[in-house]
Amino acid sequence: MIQETLVTTQNASGVAHIAPMGIHLIGDDVIILPFRPSTTLDNILATQTAVLNHCDDVRIFAGCLTGRRTWPLRTADVVRGTVLCAALAHTELELVRVEEDATRPKLFCKAVHSANHAPFQGFNRAQFAVLEAAILISRLNYLPLAKIEAEIDYLRSALEKTAGPREWEAWTWLMAMIAAFKAEARP
């Protein structure tokens, strides 16, 4: 199973970094797969730790992809790292081994501490739509624009039916990103 989470890491000097990542859960293994180049990868290799933040505030996912990377953090409980204050739950990880790959290495981690902070509020289709749109936008340079726009059109229907203010705000940031990309691509 792949869980869409926000990974917090820090570099050797303690500078924190937040990145949305799809984490693979296989048995007891927690596998982080960053595409090179990646600050998350560099930080995990430097500190041997990471934190998975389970968040329903999709603005953080959209924000990280649109230049809004500053979100409130607090010190992690066990490992050297930080936890997003918005996390409903979080898991602190230690790196166990690395499977090298030129494009996308696999970082095998083990959970050393987990904590719950707030109740899960149930599924929301607009949150899903924002996550999917954020993934598409992270691939703006690789996928055909026509495909991205067709998928965004489909996702917009769920957003319009079920979004609250946070989901609308996140969506607006993502749509502005597509508009800027198109304006830049125009000759």
DSSP 39-91: HHHHHHHHHSEEEEEE---HHHHHHHHTT-----EEE-SSSSSEEETT-SEEE
Q: What amino acid occupies position 123?
A: F
Q: Does the footprint of ligand FMN cover residue 61 (CB under 6 A)?
A: yes
From CA 40, how far away is CA 13, in angstroms rounded? 14
Site size for ligand FMN (CB under 6 A): 17
Residue closer to ligand FMN, measured from CB, 67 or 187 = 67
Residue nearest to ligand FMN (CB): 40
Residue 15: count other Cβ atoms within 10 Å of its Cβ.
10
> Of 30-38, 118-126, 151-159, 167-175, which segment contacts ligand FMN by CB under 6 A?
30-38
Instruction: From 32-40, 46-54, 141-149, 168-176, give the range in contact with ligand FMN by CB under 6 A.
Output: 32-40
Q: For binding to ligand FMN (CB under 6 A), which residues are involved?
A: 4, 19-22, 33-35, 38-40, 61, 65, 131, 134-135, 138
